Amino acid sequence: MQENHLMAPTLQCLGYAFEIGLKAMLIVGDGDLDQVGKTYGHRLNDLWEADGLKQVRQLTKEAAARWYYPDHWPQDGSSYDCFLKQFRWLGNIHAGRSVDGEYTGDFSLRYPTDEKTSVYPPDYLLEAADSILGFVEGELQRTAGKT
């Protein structure tokens, strides 16, 4: 395992952070808590594509243009593509799927296991989480201030 790999519990927390933050945006945007849960479950990839999250996806594309860490980020403007690749990977394993998206029933990121899980270097996910979840938090606070 390379030094920049994080252990599975860190990615578990990151997966839940994305899941809860994105679901909160849908619920605040006139979504129904039960319906959002039934529709998306733990499927981050499906959740990411929800119609009610167009603004979040656009923000992420705009923010990706400003992500710059010379040792990690590509210099050709493809930071969003790199983030999306890692997000899709996280979405698959968070939902018990293989990297290719086939259902495996392996939930080793979500539940304790003795198995060692090799994880993808999540450089883009961590930077993106800061931007995306910071935006979500701001939107939720703004919406709460309207009531």
HEC assignment per residue over 93-132? HHCCECCCCCECCCCCCCCCCCCCCCCCCCHHHHHHHHHH
What residue has token string 């996910």? 125
- On whether residue 82 sits in a domain, the answer given is yes
- On whether residue 59 sits in a domain, the answer given is yes
- On whether residue 124 sits in a domain, the answer given is yes
- On whether residue 108 sits in a domain, the answer given is yes
Measure CA 16 to chain center.
8
- On whether residue 43 sits in a domain, the answer given is yes
- Find the domain containing 133 and state its range: 8-146
Instruction: Please tell me the predicted confidence (pLDDT) of residue 1.
Output: 42
Average pLDDT over residues 6-34: 84
Task: Count how many domains the chain has.
Answer: 1
Residue 56 CA to residue 59 CA, distance in Å, equals: 5
Supply the pTM of this predicted model. Answer: 0.77
Average pLDDT over residues 26-33: 86
- On whether residue 66 sits in a domain, the answer given is yes
- Residue 52 pLDDT grade (very low, low, confident, very high; cuts 50, 70, 90): very high
The most confident of 10-19, 31-40, 125-134, by mean pLDDT: 31-40
Residue 122 CA to residue 83 CA, distance in Å, equals: 9
- On whether residue 62 sits in a domain, the answer given is yes
pLDDT tens for each residue of 38-51: 999 999 999 999 99
Instruction: Please tell me the predicted confidence (pLDDT) of residue 123.
Output: 64
